[in-house]
């Protein structure tokens, strides 16, 4: 096997010339710059999709625990639908099928479509965690809330959810790390994210090992960063008096 050639990252993406100080001039960019922008796309897709997933997933997870059977059905159907279709197929549905059925969505950029695809896909998993978190609470908690005269939404807001969300932080951490990994599937609809960069740069430069190593490293760094952020959040919102808390 040939030895590594890291100079590939300092090459101009247009003519393959090695640029001094690794930066292109006059609008040209080097592979390093391209990779950094790809990293930005990966993180943007992942973070925005996570926001969508948390909002929708929490809502659906809550619906699955309420007494009303029809609402339960909506939550369950949502979860099953988005859990049993491969992410790549869901991305194709958003990209090819939905704009052709709903003409008004044709101008929407593919970045937004991918954010929703990844967000809804992940929302099914988050709904599962949120539901499990709520159901792990003793029944007396919700009875106590209702007995005090709180309405059902108030019981959720002030009694159940503050506990449930803190309980589900560890599984949410792994979902947040998963969403960064899963954002790689966006390559299939030509989002200029890390995996897309890896495939194209590999083809153009034939230095696949170096390119893949760098990209894999960035995925590692991103996942590690998410892990630390979530650990910090987890630490700050520990439920006092439980096994994990300091007090």
Partner 1 sequence: MTGLDFSFLTWDVVSGFVLKGLFFSIQLTLIAMVGGIILGTLLALMRLSGKKWLVVPAAFYVNTLRSIPLVMVILWFFLLIPLLIGQPMGAELSAIITFTVFEAAYYSEIMRAGIQSVPKGQVHAGYAVGMDYRQTMQLIVLPQAFRNMLPVLLTQTIILFQDTSLVYAIGAYDLLKGFEVAGKNFNRPVETYLFAAVVYFVICFSLSMLVRRLQKKIAIIR
In the complex, the residues that contact partner 1 under the rule CB under 8 A are 1, 80-81, 83-90, 92-93, 96-97, 100-103, 177, 180-185, 187-188, 195, 198-199, 202, 208-209, 212, 215-216, 219-220, 223
What's the angle, vertex CA 108, arms to CA 47 and CA 14, rounded to 5?
75
Give residues with Cβ within 8 angstroms of 181, minimum separation 6. 219, 223
The closest alpha carbon to 186, from 103, 80, 87, 96, belongs to: 87
Which CB, 131 or 145, lies closer to partner 1? 131
Residue 174: φ, ψ to 5°: -70, -30
Q: Least distance in Å: CB of 30 to partner 1?
A: 22
Q: How near is the Cβ of 85 to partner 1 at its closest, in Å?
A: 5
Least Å distance, CB 64 to partner 1, is: 15
- In the bound state with partner 1, the residue whose beta carbon lies nearer, of 12 and 174, is 174
Q: C-beta of 171: minimal distance to partner 1 in Å?
A: 14
Q: Give whichever of 117 and 167 is closer to partner 1, judged by the CB atom.
A: 117
Smallest separation (angstroms) from partner 1 to the CB of 178: 9
Contact status, residue 51 vs residue 59, Cβ threshold 8 Å: no
By beta-carbon proximity to partner 1, the closer residue of 58 and 195 is 195
In the complex with partner 1, which residue's Cβ is closer, 130 or 179?
Answer: 179
C-beta of 101: minimal distance to partner 1 in Å?
6
- Give the Cβ contact number of residue 140 at 10 Å: 9
């Amino acid at each position: 096997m040939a030895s590594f050639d890291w100079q590939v990252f300092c090459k101009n993406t247009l003519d393959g010339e090695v640029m001094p100080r690794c930066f292109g001039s006059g609008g040209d960019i080097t592979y390093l710059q391209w990779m950094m922008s790809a990293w930005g796309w990966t993180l943007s897709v992942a973070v925005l999709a996570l926001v969508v997933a948390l909002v929708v997933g929490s809502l659906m997870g809550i619906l699955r625990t309420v007494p009303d059977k029809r609402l339960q059905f909506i939550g369950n159907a949502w979860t099953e639908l988005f859990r049993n279709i491969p992410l790549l197929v869901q991305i194709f549905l958003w990209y090819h099928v939905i704009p052709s059925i709903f003409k008004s969505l044709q101008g929407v950029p593919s970045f937004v479509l991918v954010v929703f695809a990844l967000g809804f896909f992940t929302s099914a998993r988050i709904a599962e965690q949120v539901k499990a978190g709520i159901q792990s609470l003793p029944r007396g908690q919700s009875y106590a809330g209702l007995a005090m005269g709180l309405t059902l939404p108030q019981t959720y807001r002030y009694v159940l959810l503050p506990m449930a969300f803190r309980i589900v932080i560890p599984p949410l951490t792994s979902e947040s790390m998963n969403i960064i990994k899963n954002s790689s599937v966006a390559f299939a609809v030509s989002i200029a994210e890390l995996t897309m960069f890896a495939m194209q740069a590999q083809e153009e430069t034939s230095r696949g090992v170096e390119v893949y190593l760098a990209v894999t490293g960035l995925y590692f760094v991103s996942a590690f960063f998410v892990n630390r952020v979530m650990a910090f959040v987890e630490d700050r919102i520990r439920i006092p008096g439980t096994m994990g808390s300091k007090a």
